[in-house]
Amino acid sequence: MKTNPFYKNNKNRNMDPKEKENINEEELMSEAAQKEAAENEESQTEDVQDETVLTEEEKLAKELEEANKVIEDQKDKYLRLSAEFDNYRKRTMKEKAELILNGGEKTISSILPIVDDFERALKNMETATDVAAVKEGVELIYNKFMSVLAQDGVKVIETKEQPLDTDYHEAVAVIPAPDKALKGKILDCVQTGYMLNDKVIRHAKVVVGE
């Protein structure tokens, strides 16, 4: 129920000045309290907003920190792998160069004793009178030499009375076959062919019957 302003003013007019002063003070205090409450409420709202913003910033900062950590870890792994690969590449190139330069060392070392046998045979030939003995000595050296080559994977390509096979043989001449059974087969080998670990390194040059 609203108070009639006229009645209120009239009432105040009939009041004691001291009572009027008390009423005015109460009204001022009430207005001040309401204003203070409103300010407090506004301040609390701002604090909540600030706290929310701060929490969001902290969350983003934490996510950024974690992302930077992951990036640093990946960068470290990449640098390590890059260094390891570079070392591997250099080591492989060095081993390959050494293999090219010294790949035949084992074969040469195995042949050197045979060279020694040839030198002794040549020296003995200077004073030898028995041709059969000299021939036997040379055959022994030859067989020893072929045995060493076989240990290194070298094989002689078979040609005697074998059918012509262009994968292994090279026909250099064709002559009439002395027998019908020898037609299209190898009659003679002009130059021996060789294989290294099942790979042809020199074709056998042969004469074929027709």
Find the largest Cα–Cα distance for the chain.
Answer: 171
Q: Is residue 203 part of a domain?
A: yes
Q: What's the mean pLDDT when you consider all of the chain?
A: 81
Q: Is residue 28 part of a domain?
A: no
pLDDT of 163 strictly over 80: yes
pLDDT of 22 strictly over 60: no
Task: Please give the Cα distance from 43 to 72 (Å, whole number).
Answer: 43
Residue 25: pLDDT band by 50, 70, 90 thresholds?
low
Range of the domain at 97: 61-102
Q: Is residue 79 part of a domain?
A: yes
Task: Report how many domains make up the chain.
Answer: 3
Residues 89-141: tens digit of each pLDDT: 999 998 888 877 776 788 888 899 999 999 999 998 888 888 898 899 999 99
Residue 2: pLDDT band by 50, 70, 90 thresholds?
very low
Q: Is residue 123 part of a domain?
A: yes
Q: Is residue 22 part of a domain?
A: no
Three-state DSSP state, 186:
strand
Residues 36-80: tens digit of each pLDDT: 666 666 666 655 555 566 688 888 888 898 999 999 999 999 999
Both 148 and 162 in one domain: the answer is no
pTM value surpassing 0.75: no
